[in-house]
Amino acid sequence: MKKDTIKKLRWGGRVLLAIYLACLIYFMFFSESYGRTAMHRDYQYNLVLFREIWRFIKYRDVLGPAAVFVNLAGNVAVFIPYGFALPLLFRKVHSFLQVTILSFGFSLLVETLQLILRVGCFDVDDLLLNTVGGCIGYLIFACLRLHWRKKW
């Protein structure tokens, strides 16, 4: 590919990443469908790893499959595009470790803002699930990169 085309693709990808991040922030802080508009009077948080994951698994019949899916698979899935986009769009981000650290850091930022703004709940399980999602996104990118190299 020509350098001009690559630059245009990277620019377009960065625009798409910005739109993705805006949507992510909307759903995490402002979406009425997830009860994000009401501020809680007290701080809500979970600092015990796997507490909420096990609770969702244990009470899946009571909570319903939609709630379990949104909480567990949703927290992973929502960070897959982030992990995929970082090495694709930014040359300096090229390793699994870098994407893992950036995914964890961004998730920590979002969870901390939820705690400070009292919208949603700070949850270490979400940090884990979001980071796993970012890692999966990177692995998808790495597999596609190998595939592309073999073709070209």
Report the pLDDT value the prediction gives residue 78, as an integer from 0 to 100. 94
Number of C-beta neighbours around residue 144 at 10 A: 12
Would you give the DSSP letter of residue 73? H
pLDDT top residue among 140 and 121:
140
Vertex 137: Cα angle to 91 and 89 (nearest 5): 25
Q: Please check the confidence at residue 97 and state whether its pLDDT lies above 60.
A: yes
Q: Give the whole-angstrom CA distance, residue 47 versus residue 59.
A: 20
Is residue 41 over pLDDT 70?
A: no
Helices (H) and strands (E) in the chain, counts: 7, 2
Query: In this model, does residue 36 exceed pLDDT 70?
Result: no
Q: How many residues make up the chain in this entry?
A: 152
Please give the span between the terminal C-alpha atoms of the chain, in angstroms, as a whole number: 10
Q: Which residue has the tokens 């350098």?
A: 3
> In the predicted model, is pLDDT for residue 59 greater than 90?
yes
Strand boundaries in 27-75, DSSP class E: 45-46
Report residue 37's pLDDT band, with 50, 70 and 90 as the boundaries: low
pTM of the predicted model, to two decimals? 0.85
Q: Where do the structural domains in the chain lie, given as residue ranges?
A: 3-151
